[in-house]
Chains A and B, each alone.
Chain A
Amino acid sequence: MTKNCHNDYKMKFSVDDEYPDLTKHNNHMAKVLSKEIYGKLRSKSTPSGFTVDDVIQTGVDNPGHPFIMTVGCVAGDEESYEVFKDLLDPIISDRHGGYKPTDKHKTDLNFENLKGGDDLDPNYVLSSRVRTGRSIKGFTLPPHNSRGERRAIQNLSIEALSSLEGEFKGKYYPLDGMTDAEQEQLIADHFLFDKPVSPLLTCAGMARDWPDARGIWHNDNKTFLVWVNEEDHLRVISMQKGGNMKEVFRRFCVGLQKIEEIFKKHNHGFMWNEHLGYILTCPSNLGTGLRGGVHVKLPKLSTHAKFEEILTRLRLQKRGTGGVDTASVGGVFDISNADRLGSSEVDQVQLVVDGVKLMVEMEKKLEKGESIDGMIPAQK
């Protein structure tokens, strides 16, 4: 194991001296991290040298958020989830609806198992999107990785992606080498990601060395997109205008599996295990790492007293159209699955498809001044 002399140096201070002040904090990490757990974990390091202070730094620096209950901790490598399980297992359980350390996670990327989903009303459903993340085995994660590791991930990714064909044929745009014209186009297409400004991410060290080895790949059709070295090694996104979620999901599954094959050939498969599913930087994205969602017009339903309850019962969540920490604009909401771990990809996209279909019907009823009381769903 790597000798972590910085961590050893800190050990000369007592647990009391080093334990963070979490009195004003409200995030998953702060709810779970007791002095006892901190005392137990503080001397440990993963093989690559990630420590408990590294895990929790973002949660210490960011006490809370107005819109969302933040996780407040990150993994620095695959082993973090094992070495720091005393902290991460309870967080995972709290965040993922009671998921137990002994539970098994099911992966199902067979798009044919999805029922329906090709007919969401495009008058209401403006766009459909499915995203996930993938981590490449053998490298540490964005909060921790070095320039050398990040560049190796980029090189592997470029190789893998440039061998895709047919509907997946595309091009890679490194962030630090794109022309102004390319940048303008990527912004216009809503593809460009920029240096993180959210302190949730910057405090975890994910923006180091920006924009070195970061980039965007997309297919010529602009319906399949991969982000390299942003919050995860890879973020894979399938999207298109309108309500044909089935098509979006098909492309997602097919593309993802092609990419995985190529990485496996280089002996760098994706991080996955049967308990946590796909391993990602943020514990909130474990399992499928999947967020399947739509931008949908729900001006009436969103102001209805039962909106939140309906979403909860459908196992869906709402966001603004700018993404995770934004507010909605003009009655258009981003509606997506709330779950990540403990149900499969197909299960989660099915929830979105069925749930959004129902909410659009409710919206139509409310437009006509009719009641939706008879349509309130049972808890899924």
Chain B
Amino acid sequence: MPFGNTHNQTKMKYSSEQEYPDLSKHNNHMAKVLTPAMYERLRSKQTPSGFTLDDVIQTGVDNPGHPFIMTVGCVAGDEETYEVFKDLLDPVIEDRHGGYKPTDKHKTDLNSGNLKGGDDLDPNYVLSSRVRTGRSIRGFSLPPHCSRGERRAVEKLSIEALASLSGDLKGKYYALKNMTDAEQQQLIDDHFLFDKPVSPLLLASGMARDWPDARGIWHNDNKTFLVWVNEEDHLRVISMQKGGNMKEVFTRFCTGLTKIESLFKERSHEFMWNEHLGYVLTCPSNLGTGLRAGVHVKLPNLSKNTKFEEVLKKLRLQKRGTGGVDTAAVGGVFDISNADRLGFSEVELVQMVVDGVKLLVDMEKRLEKGQSIDDLMPAQK
């Protein structure tokens, strides 16, 4: 297996040209950025835990492209990856995150009081609201690279931290490898259960190794706050509920996340964060806030309108199918969320979703009545 520098010195006896991947049929961020010269400069390097350039790019080499989305094609194996391989990752980050420069600073704002409105999205259209992010625990390598020992340590710390949550955040942990059939069925019905990745994008980077060891799901008794342990990131934190009260979802999100962070700090573990990249996660696309705030919203008329894509772009929003990142929409119901992750704060991104979805619903209502939406077209945010 290529994960780790198990092989790096031995590979150096082959020339850079002999080792350089064939990216001629590829269309992902990594393939757009990687050049033979860059490969040559970086191929002899490794992070302190032994992650190499070939480890970073393997998923992008094995997956030339995707029909719905422009994939990133590279992953980080640890916090240091973003530094050691900055020659590759800075341009990928810049391309992916709207021109974000190596010298830019990222702003974190998890004060839900700063969000204006967001408690009144029309539930006839907005079926559910959700905010998710990821967090990595400093001192451990990331899912593409971590060993069983590390993964188990991350799980153990997480269980401890989550077990001390109280009030409406009080909940329970379900380890994937020993949940009962009944528990499993309930988690599936609640749309909480995550399963072994099947996407080749994830498999090729090694994130599914040792499944289901040290993977699990924690959720509060109210089923509105959920934490995934050791899936694509160390932690994925999710706040969700039916209907359109995004403010409440975001408030719970911020409160819960801040509480969890302080619990980890009490145990001498912090989240990976720096003032340039914000929160450090496995996929470069999730840097910054790692935040995706979205709704499932009925837009059967608007989604068929020729200006739909343009409107989304101007609002800095993206659409997905209701099955998640690589799926298609079903029955006119779309997953609409912020397109940005880095260079904007959490509050700013959720604000864009709240304001944008409000407008989209207004447009949908206009189109239902056969009216024009021309006067509602937004400026570029």
Contact = CB atoms under 8 A, between A and B. Distances in A.
B58 A208 contact: yes
Nearest to A15: B149
Interface string B3-42: 1111111110011001111100000000000000000000
B7 A49 contact: yes
Contact of B10 (A14, A48, A210): A48
A200 interface: no
B248 interface: no
B18 A9 contact: no
Interface string A118-155: 00000000000000000000001001101111011000
A212 interface: yes
Nearest to B15: A148
B14 A9 contact: no
Interface residues of B, number: 43
Interface in B60-118: 61-62
A153 B5 CA distance: 22
A207 B177 CA distance: 27
Given A10-B149, A13-B147, A146-B14, A5 B209 contact: no
A269 interface: no
A2 B9 contact: yes
B7 A5 contact: no
A266 interface: no
B22 A208 contact: no
A152 B18 contact: yes
A50 interface: yes
Interface string A179-214: 000000000000000000000001111011110100
B210 A20 contact: yes
A49 B4 CA distance: 10
B49 A152 contact: no
A347 interface: no
Contacts of A7: 4, 6, 50
Nearest to B22: A212
Contact of B48 (A9, A53, A208): A9
Interface residues on A, range: 35 or more
A6 interface: yes
A57 B3 CA distance: 11
A152 B147 contact: no
Interface string B313-330: 000000000000000000
A313 B211 CA distance: 39
A4 interface: yes
Nearest to A17: B149
Contacts of A140: 7, 10
A209 B21 contact: yes
Contact of A146 (B11, B50, B148): B11
B90 to A, nearest CB: 24
B213 interface: yes
A20 B9 contact: no
A51 B208 CA distance: 19
Nearest to A45: B6
A143 B3 CA distance: 11
A4 B6 contact: yes
A361 interface: no
B61 A209 contact: yes
Contacts of A48: 6-7, 10
Given A17-B152, A21-B213, A144 B1 contact: yes
Contact of B19 (A20, A146, A204): A146
A54 interface: yes
Interface string A204-229: 11011110100000000000000000
A348 to B, nearest CB: 32
Given A49-B10, A207-B62, A4 B50 contact: yes
A207 B63 CA distance: 11
Nearest to B210: A60
B21 A212 contact: yes
* Among B1, B148, B208: residue with most chain A CB under 10 A: B1
Nearest to A149: B14
A202 B203 contact: yes
Contacts of A205: 1-2
B58 to A, nearest CB: 6
Nearest to B7: A49
Contacts of B6: 2, 4, 6-7, 45, 48-51, 54, 144
A5 to B, nearest CB: 4
B62 A152 contact: no
A348 B210 CA distance: 37
* Among A45, A53, A204: residue with most chain B CB under 10 A: A53
A55 to B, nearest CB: 10
A17 B153 contact: yes
A5 B54 contact: no
Contacts of A149: 11, 14
A146 B147 contact: no
A49 B9 contact: yes
A380 interface: no
Given A18-B149, A61-B211, A146 B7 contact: yes
B4 A210 contact: no
Contacts of B49: 5-6, 9
17 contacts: A4-B50, A5-B46, A6-B3, A9-B50, A20-B210, A48-B7, A50-B6, A50-B7, A53-B147, A54-B1, A146-B10, A147-B18, A147-B20, A148-B15, A149-B14, A152-B14, A208-B61
Interface of A: 2-7, 9-10, 13-14, 17-21, 45, 47-51, 53-54, 57, 60-61, 140, 143-144, 146-149, 151-152, 176, 202-205, 207-210, 212
Given A9-B48, A48-B7, 14 more contacts: A5-B5, A6-B145, A9-B49, A17-B149, A17-B153, A49-B5, A49-B9, A61-B209, A140-B7, A146-B7, A146-B54, A151-B18, A152-B14, A152-B18
Interface of B: 1-11, 14-15, 18-22, 46, 48-51, 54, 58, 61-62, 141, 145, 147-150, 152-153, 177, 203-204, 208-211, 213
Q: Please give me the 9 A-B residue pairs with the lowest Cβ-Cβ distance, nearest first.
A: A6-B4, A13-B149, A6-B50, A148-B14, A17-B149, A49-B6, A148-B18, A148-B19, A18-B149
